[in-house]
Structure 1
Amino acid sequence: MVEMGQLNRLKVIREVEFGVYLQGDRDGGILLPKSEVPAGARLGDHLQVFVYLDTNDMPIATTRRPRAQVGQFTNLKVVEVNDVGAFLDWGLPKDLFLPFNEQTRRLQPGEHVTVYLYLDNTGRIAATTKVEKHLAADVDYQQGQLVELLVWRRTDIGYLVIIDNQAQGLLHQQDIHRPVRPGQRLSGFIKQLREDGKITVMLEKPGYGRVDPLAQQILQYLEARNGFCVLGDKSAPDAIRETFGVSKKAYKMALGQLMKAGRIRQDEQGIHLNG
């Protein structure tokens, strides 16, 4: 059975001048255009393809990989807005449709938006910004568990994130020690599982990476300068004070904290941001 809006592994059943047909649910198969056919593909071969509807609402296959499949969340750029809705760039020739009634606000071309991909009642692939209704309320996580995060949107106290393509979480501002923006995909850890079912996450493993204000200042300095600073724990006190406004002793303590947490490393040239 062919799954619309998903990657499928399908058998080549017929060759034509303009491509090949792959075994599918419809008579005659599903077309993979000639420009998409891998070199050396033959009858009987199995190809991994993404299946969607073309501009005539006919199933078509592509060897290209869209930025998301049906059932997934992602962040996409709005390329057009017209009388029926918005259209998003998802990496395929036919843009992804986002109906007006699936928008939480009116969108503008050029902006990026977090969406969930679904099949509408006609079988067409579409997107919605009403992602909350597609997030699971009952998930099974453990404190400290490694998870994948999609940064969703900013709030007054941090960022809402989507955890493992299934649940909502909160990344508190106090746990952010590097630049974060909506649309980013990051690795993180479960920080707390609250009794009300809400989840908080952090970017560093619990017990590591918590730093004082001076250490945060050093990290921000490194991030703004390609992860490098010439000032190490043997640098002149005056140079340290001029750059960071603190004593050499305080600076060395902050460096020690960051190295212990695995955030930086030091060599003869200076200090380097890890990762």
Structure 2
Amino acid sequence: MMQLGEYNTLEILRDTDPGLFLGDEEGNEVLLPNRYVPEEFNIGDKIEVFVYLDNEERPVATTDKPYIAKGDFSLLRCNQVTKYGAFLDWGLVKELFCPFKEQAFKMKAGGWYLVHCYLDEETERLVASSKTNRFLDNKELTVSKFDEVDLIVSHPSEIGMNVIVNKKHLGLVFKDDIFKDISVGDRLKGIVKKVRQDNKLDILLSQIGYRNIEPNAEIILKELSDNSGFIPLHDKSDPDDIKHQLQMSKKSFKKAIGALYKERLITIESNGIRLVQN
């Protein structure tokens, strides 16, 4: 089924004066205007296009890649504000509309805003909303502690920076865990540092994530998890003891626990290392 606001792989049905007519398996058709028609094609070929509504509210296809698709979040520039709302540049001929009621703060021409794109059920039009939190839900999490996640920087708070996690959940990177300049709209990799009892997510940025610093850290974390959060190994332990329990050298072990300690995922005690509990 042809979907507005998404990429669709459609069949070239016929060549006409205004462009190519494309169709899906259910018999729906859409025009690909001449400006987007490839130099070489054959009737029956498949082509990937983005489908949205033109200025006359008719479905139209394009081979241009918009800055945002339905269900996604992106930082967009406001081109103009009218009595109806704001119009945003999303890389296509027709601008993306953001009604006043969907603006977290009143938009101004020339400003940049993080928005979510969705299909309005009442008007059946693609619209934008800068009230991004309402499209996120932490009631049923799809991530766990130590999972690697995709992040979009959302908005600052007094204690850190809010981030969108896997386009589904809201998370927070605390100030003490931010080691480089990040801005609203940045797309980053991260690690789930902690899942709180109220399902709030504490996030680490990937450049300090244990998987990117030291691959042996994951082995140690699993061993800690399997042994009630404690193992009797430390930087003074005998190399043979480390090799017997973890199948790694003492040098690799010290490097891994150093990375985990830096990320505050473990504590190093006189008789071993302990996992920091939620």
The TM tier, using the shorter chain, reads 0.7 to 0.9
Q: How many matched pairs?
A: 216
Displacement, 1:142? 2.0
Residue deviations 1:86-114 (CA, integer Å, cap 9, x gap): 01111111110000111122111111111
Structure 1 segments, 4+ long, off by >3 Å, are 24-28, 206-209
Give the 3 Å change call, closer, same or farther, for CA 53–208 of structure 1 in structure 2.
closer
SS at match of 1:68: coil
> Match of 2:209?
205
The separation in 2 between residues aligned to 1:28 and 1:135, in whole angstroms, is: 32
> Match of 2:195?
193
Displacement, 1:166? 0.8
Q: Percent of counterpart pairs with the same letter?
A: 35
SS at match of 2:75: strand
> Match of 1:159?
161
> Match of 1:180?
182
1:1-275 superposed matches below 5 A: 1-24=1-24, 29-120=29-120, 121-137=122-138, 138-203=140-205, 204-206=208-210
Displacement, 1:140? 2.3
SS at match of 1:64: coil
SS at match of 2:176: helix
Displacement, 1:18? 2.5
The separation in 1 between residues aligned to 2:25 and 2:97, in whole angstroms, is: 24
Displacement, 1:26? 9.5
Q: TM-score, normalised by structure 1?
A: 0.73
> Match of 1:233?
none
Report the RMSD for the aligned CA atoms in angstroms. Answer: 2.6
Displacement, 1:24? 4.7
Instruction: Please tell me whether the aligned partners of residues 89 and 96 of structure 1 are also in contact (alpha carbons under 8 angstroms).
Output: yes
SS at match of 2:106: coil
The separation in 1 between residues aligned to 2:184 and 2:30, in whole angstroms, is: 36
Structure 1 stretch 81-90 or stretch 16-25: which is displaced more?
16-25
SS at match of 2:189: strand
Displacement, 1:25? 8.9
The separation in 2 between residues aligned to 1:125 and 1:37, in whole angstroms, is: 24
Letter in 2 for 1:110: G
Instruction: Please tell me whether the aligned partners of residues 79 and 110 of structure 1 are also in contact (alpha carbons under 8 angstroms).
Output: yes
Gaps (5+ residues) in structure 1?
210-256, 262-275
Structure 1 stretch 24-33 or stretch 38-47: which is displaced more?
24-33
Displacement, 1:208? 8.0
The separation in 1 between residues aligned to 2:212 and 2:3, in whole angstroms, is: 43
Instruction: Please tell me whether the aligned partners of residues 151 and 184 of structure 1 are also in contact (alpha carbons under 8 angstroms).
Output: yes
SS at match of 1:183: coil
Give the 3 Å change call, closer, same or farther, for CA 58–208 of structure 1 in structure 2.
closer
> Match of 2:242?
none
Instruction: Please tell me whether the aligned partners of residues 104 and 129 of structure 1 are also in contact (alpha carbons under 8 angstroms).
Output: yes
Structure 1 stretch 196-205 or stretch 25-34: which is displaced more?
25-34
> Match of 1:222?
none
Displacement, 1:191? 0.8
The separation in 1 between residues aligned to 2:211 and 2:134, in whole angstroms, is: 33
Displacement, 1:39? 2.2
Letter in 2 for 1:157: I
Instruction: Please tell me whether the aligned partners of residues 23 and 29 of structure 2 are also in contact (alpha carbons under 8 angstroms).
Output: yes
Gaps (5+ residues) in structure 2?
214-254, 260-278
> Match of 1:229?
none
SS at match of 1:101: helix
Q: TM-score, normalised by structure 2?
A: 0.72
Displacement, 1:125? 0.5
SS at match of 1:56: coil
Structure 1 stretch 175-184 or stretch 107-116: which is displaced more?
107-116
Instruction: Please tell me whether the aligned partners of residues 2 and 28 of structure 2 are also in contact (alpha carbons under 8 angstroms).
Output: no
The separation in 2 between residues aligned to 1:195 and 1:106, in whole angstroms, is: 35
